[in-house]
């Protein structure tokens, strides 16, 4: 029988990154905030489900606010101070996530909407009749 080696907990090395990018993907069901360096390598991320919300509460603006705060706090541990914000998707947590990024002390240099728009691609979902 082979000797099972004890797994060492992988320690995150502290990166010194002053300027980065915040990618906010806000769908109808969830909001995901990823903070990267300028090359696109992930520094930190958080989502509404990751923060502790389940089900329909993930799609609320409050859940997006807590997710953005959690991602920003983790990124600030790596020395991040300035971000460019890229927003994608039609969800309800877009503006709230941007506001909470600014409230945590990150300086927002620019906001860009990068929602993909189809040039008549896939057929969309049927409209809800409420």
pLDDT tens column, 23-53: 999 999 999 999 999 999 999 999 999 999 9
Does residue 11 sit within a domain? no
- Under the banding of pLDDT at 50, 70 and 90, the label for residue 130 is confident
Helices (H), 1-130: 48-51, 61-76, 94-103
Per-residue pLDDT tens digits for 112-123? 999 999 999 999
Distance CA 97, CA 65 (A): 5
Does residue 40 sit within a domain? yes
Does residue 66 sit within a domain? yes
Does residue 76 sit within a domain? yes
Say which CATH number the domain at 45 has: 3.30.420.80
Does residue 60 sit within a domain? yes
Q: How many domains does the chain have?
A: 1
Does residue 4 sit within a domain? no
Instruction: Enter the DSSP assignment of 59.
Output: G
Give the pTM. Answer: 0.84
| H/E stretch holding 99 | helix 94-103
Does residue 89 sit within a domain? yes
Per-residue pLDDT tens digits for 57-97? 999 999 999 999 999 999 999 999 999 999 999 989 899 99
Q: What range does the domain containing 59 cover?
A: 19-113
């Amino acid at each position: 029988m082979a000797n099972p080696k004890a797994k060492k907990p992988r320690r995150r090395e502290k990166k010194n990154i002053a300027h980065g990018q915040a990618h906010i993907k806000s769908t109808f069901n969830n909001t995901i905030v990823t903070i990267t360096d300028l090359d696109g390598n992930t520094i930190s991320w958080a989502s509404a489900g990751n923060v502790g919300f389940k089900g329909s509460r993930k799609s609320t603006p409050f859940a997006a606010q807590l997710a953005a705060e959690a991602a920003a706090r983790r990124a600030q541990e790596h020395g991040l101070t300035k971000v460019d914000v890229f927003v994608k998707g039609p969800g309800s947590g877009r503006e709230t996530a941007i506001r909470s990024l600014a409230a945590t002390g990150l300086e927002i240099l620019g906001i860009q909407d990068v929602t993909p728009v189809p040039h008549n691609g896939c057929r969309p979902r049927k409209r809800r009749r409420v």
